Amino acid sequence: MTIMVSDYVSKKALKEQIGQSLSYEETSFHGPEYKANGSFVVTHRPSISRAPGREFSAVVTMKNDLIVAVV
């Protein structure tokens, strides 16, 4: 399972970005986690992110480098 750290302060803020590109930080030592097409878990971790807010996780679906769904 791929887990990426996002710069969004809430799941609602992430959902508002449907149709836009994803703002994230690569955290893997084993190669890129980002997928231009497909689904992966995105989490907001204020302790390691540049953005404040509460911790949350969401499944993000991408198509052609754009967010198409957030669950």
User: Structure pTM?
Assistant: 0.81
d(CA 71, CA 50): 23
d(CA 71, CA 69): 7
Question: Average of pLDDT values for 13-21?
Answer: 96
Q: What is the pLDDT of residues 28-44, one digit of tens each?
A: 778 777 889 999 888 88
Q: Is residue 26's pLDDT more than 80?
A: no
Question: By residue range, what is the domain housing residue 50?
Answer: 3-70
Q: Looking at residue 42, what DSSP letter applies?
A: E
- For the chain, the average pLDDT equals 85
Number of separate domains in the chain: 1
